[in-house]
Structure 1
Amino acid sequence: MTQIVDEIKKLKEARRAVILAHNYQRGEVQDIADYVGDSFGLSQKAVEADAEVIVFCGVDFMAESAAILNPGRAVLNPAPEAGCPMARMITAADVRKLKEQHPGAEVVCYVNSSAEVKAESDVCCTSSNAIKVVNSLKGAEAVFVPDMNLAAYAQKFTSKKIIPWHGYCPTHHLITAGDVLVAKMEHPGAQVLVHPECRPEVVDLADGVFSTDGMIKYAREATADLIIGTESGLIHRLKKENPRIRYYPLSTYAVCPNMKMTSLVSVRDSLRDMKTQIRVPENIRIRAKKALDRMLEVGR
């Protein structure tokens, strides 16, 4: 493994590359990345990074978003087979139909979606700024795609009517209210933090609801142990950055197989062979970029 890490470092320097890794990636992939974060933070880093090549360790829509925002740079996806099941629960045709059914509503598109879906939307959002994005809209109604759980969470904090699409993240949707009750019994005194992609009844039982980066920030000041209700990969970063408290997964089943497809070998091979480069058709890219730019303007 040490040899592969050395190869990656040399290739990164030779290619003038930056490596971005999502919080759900394997621990060893997070450890070789220049930046680790959530979708919003990594979208910002992709734009800000002074690099000719962007290696995005995540799932397909993340690398695609980086390519949309950085047309002049090569964006590599080391695991092109790593898709997002939720992103595949809606199509551009579905969004067009929703716009016909709700002509007065703007379309808010969770960043966990394809470029084609983003291109049909008015503004993108992430789990960290969904509420802020919805409240930034001028109209009284918003179509929200594709995550119904994030839509339900945002609805609690806005007077606007949210019209949700019935998509969901299978990994977060597996977490149940029973998991929360059992975890609290097994770890008395620990606080439960959950991701807003979780079911509403899970969110209602939690002590805090945060994006992955929100959980990282919360942990920095936490005095109690934490039960983490999101994909298990986040616990690697939590333990690394804040080892003074203990972390427990809310569910041992909260593992996204797609997020684990990237390996050190695939990162090395991607840099060495400049594969797999993500390309978005220009007519799609320009429209999708407007929605992403608007998301970045709203901020967290």
Structure 2
Amino acid sequence: MSAPAVDALVPGSDLVAGSPAWTAEIHRLAEERDAVILAHNYQVPVIQDVAHHVGDSLALSRIAATAPQSTIIFCGVHFMAETAKILSPEKTVLIPDAAAGCSLADSLTVEELRAWKAENPGAVVVSYVNTTAAVKAETDICCTSSNAVEVVDSIPRDTPVLFGPDQFLGAHVRRILQRDNVKVWGGECHVHAGINGAELSAKAAAHPDADLYIHPECGCATSALYLAASGAVEPDRIKILSTGEMVHAAGASRSRQVLVATEIGMIHQLKRAAPGIDFLAVNDRASCGYMKMITPDKLMRSLLEMRDEVHVDPDTAARARGAVERMIAIGSSGGGE
């Protein structure tokens, strides 16, 4: 799904998306409706640029929980808007397109999690934040890609752990902690899983002086370790990072070129953080169609019509809230998804 053209007119108005007049009107409407606009790092650039806050899922979850505004416009995918509603049940949470889903969240249903728990009595359930509210309600503690290791490490080593749904992040946690009693669900993000080791190796060979920023959801994360072990890439050039950590690393980096293995929307924020670095996507086709469903006209419609509202059953939200709050409390200084 291609990004909307910045010079396209917003349907129903004479405003050009991305123009100063359009930005001013979006912000005017937001103030009028007592709304804060949150945008994930994978959103199209014009949405990132107009949002009040841009970040990863953990950073945006924290903002959603503490923002003084009564309405949250969440430019992301549905599980993120659900998480905001879980943390702030008294607020109105809107998502500009209710159909913006997530293949990773869909890879573990609440029925599957309940069955998995029944097969492993006594295990602690750690669920990635990229899950539905119903799954979070069956979870002991949620995690993000930046604090997953800390979360699992906080559980006694003799206690079995059920980690889901992302198999690549789970493998990363097992490898770092050397814990064989961490069972990992076989889910994946279709975009990150498609960034493979062969592409990473080819890009690294073509750009031998570049640093590598790799999201732990990627199918190429293990290949990066092989590149380091083989001497093909200096180990200190390989950084396995959440999206929030990528922004921090870029801002502090002295590198001239960085290869980025994650969804391509991330490149926009990295260039803003470090305009002097040449950021190159390992796979320039790694675009999430769900993230790109949030367009300027849908954001405008959401503000004008106050739609589409996200609801979470109060009992489900109450049971999920503890797992999400424990996630926020662990590794509170790091980045998120």
TM over 0.5: yes
Residue 4 (structure 1) shift: 3.1
Aligned partner of residue 208 in structure 1, secondary structure: strand
Aligned to 2:235: none
Aligned to 1:177: 197
Aligned to 2:175: 156
Report the TM-score when normalising by structure 1: 0.97
**CA contact 1:4–1:264 (8 Å) conserved in 2:** no
| Aligned residues: CA RMSD | 1.3
Aligned to 2:283: 251
**CA contact 2:200–2:224 (8 Å) conserved in 1:** no
1:66-118 C-alpha deviation (Å, 9 max, x unpaired): 00110110000011111001111111111111111111210001000100011
Report the TM-score when normalising by structure 2: 0.86
Within 5 A, what are the aligned runs for 1:1-300? 1=17, 2=19, 3-138=21-156, 140-160=159-179, 161-199=181-219, 200-204=221-225, 205=227, 207-224=238-255, 225-298=257-330, 299=332, 300=334
1:135-185 C-alpha deviation (Å, 9 max, x unpaired): 112352110011010000011222442101100011010011111111112
Give the structure with higher Rg (CA): 2
Gaps of 5+ in 2: 1-16, 229-237
Aligned length: 300
CA distance in 2, matches of 1:44, 1:37: 10
**CA contact 1:4–1:268 (8 Å) conserved in 2:** no
**CA contact 1:22–1:36 (8 Å) conserved in 2:** yes
**CA contact 2:40–2:57 (8 Å) conserved in 1:** yes
Gaps of 5+ in 1: none
Aligned partner of residue 124 in structure 1, secondary structure: strand
CA distance in 2, matches of 1:124, 1:282: 19
**CA contact 1:47–1:69 (8 Å) conserved in 2:** yes
CA distance in 2, matches of 1:133, 1:191: 28
